[in-house]
Amino acid sequence: MAAKEPMRVLVTGAAGQIGYALVPMIARGIMLGADQPVILHMLDIEFAAEALKGVKMELVDAAFPLLKGVVATTDPVEACTGVNVAVMVGGFPRKEGMERKDVMTKNVSIYKSQASALEAHAAPNCKVLVVANPANTNALILKEFAPSIPEKNISCLTRLDHNRALGQISERLNVQVSDVKNAIIWGNHSSSQYPDVNHATVKTASGEKPVRELVQDDEWLNGEFIATVQQRGAAIIKARKLSSALSAASSACDHIRDWVLGTPEGTFVSMGVYSDGSYGVPAGLIYSFPVTCSGGDWTIVQGLPIDEFSRKKMDATAQELSEEKALAYSCLE
């Protein structure tokens, strides 16, 4: 069988913490598959140019069989040229004690300029994943300023939150995390997100069982569980004095892999995507929904029953996203 053509994968902010964790995963085939050669495009700011050179040296030293080339640059045009997948990790970082809204103005200008470079130079049908916070709104800005990139090709990362929810359930029930599926993150990648286990199941010796039935503690599921997932990023910063780079990089690989190669039958995952009004979420927001992926496209899972508790949580995070959107647009004026 003929070897596949290499795919070009852009990582912005590649010399940073998440970038440093992510590029070896991509080069090892974790993102696009063990038979898919890759050419890595790494972009960072001038300030990080020396560090970026060091990352390139290490990629050479690791002798990854799938890695067919490395572009390391501070020029957005060179970085974006011909890329099939773009993982936007670069942004103005939120530091301990900073509010998300403080970082909005700086990120709007970054994403506006990167949108133009991607639109003009990326490969047709390039898939874009925004990781840098505020991820949903950065993705929305990118969409606004790259009108020729189809809206279905722009997403943001809530798979980290999704995986955190699976992890908490597996710890609570003392089961393998691979046996837990179909948790949902609704809304914003912020502390207003709603981790929903009403449709989640666990594989047991006697078949798949609903998480609620197995946990048998609605107070925990509706309280501490939600808060733990919502606040997990802050808890890791507190413990490590650094952000959750390892898990963010791993989740970004999961997000792209499922998007490109498809989700397993009967499993849905969470992706921040452009709302079409499903589940009463205002159209025109980038909002995290349960999705399935097939043939390189995602589809929002339809028809899931939503109880009153969920409805309130889903509306609250939509409200925050609407406010963020208004704030981002005011930064443009």
Say if residue 164 carries a ligand binding annotation: yes
Say if residue 133 carries a ligand binding annotation: yes
Say if residue 153 carries a ligand binding annotation: no
Say if residue 110 carries a ligand binding annotation: no
- Residue 135: name the closest of 95, 100, 180, 96 by CA: 100
Radius of gyration of the chain (CA): 19
Confirm if 149 and 118 have CB atoms less than 8 A apart. yes
CA-to-CA dists, residue 55 to 49, 237, 249, 262, angstroms: 10, 24, 16, 30
Helix (H/G/I), strand (E/B), else coil: 190: coil
Say if residue 131 carries a ligand binding annotation: yes
From 162, 189, 199, 255, active-site residue: 189
Those residues with Cβ within 8 angstroms of residue 267's Cβ, 6 or more apart along the chain or in another chain: 181, 182, 292
Say if residue 14 carries a ligand binding annotation: yes
Say if residue 15 carries a ligand binding annotation: yes
| Spatial distance between the Cα atoms of 126 and 63, rounded to a whole number of angstroms | 27
Say if residue 3 carries a ligand binding annotation: no
Q: Within 13 Å, how many C-alpha atoms sit on residue 71's CB side?
A: 22
Say if residue 295 carries a ligand binding annotation: no
| Spatial distance between the Cα atoms of 23 and 37, rounded to a whole number of angstroms | 13
Say if residue 84 carries a ligand binding annotation: no
- Residue 176: name the closest of 203, 206, 199, 205 by CA: 203
Q: Nearest 5°: CA angle at 7, between 4 and 13?
A: 155
Q: Is 199 a catalytic residue?
A: no
Say if residue 107 carries a ligand binding annotation: yes
Confirm if 187 and 321 have CB atoms less than 8 A apart. yes
Say if residue 63 carries a ligand binding annotation: no
Say if residue 257 carries a ligand binding annotation: no
Annotated binding site for substrate: 94, 100, 133, 164
Binding residue positions = 13-19, 44, 94, 100, 107, 131-133, 164
Residues belonging to the active site:
189
| Annotation: binding site for NAD(+) | 13-19, 44, 107, 131-133
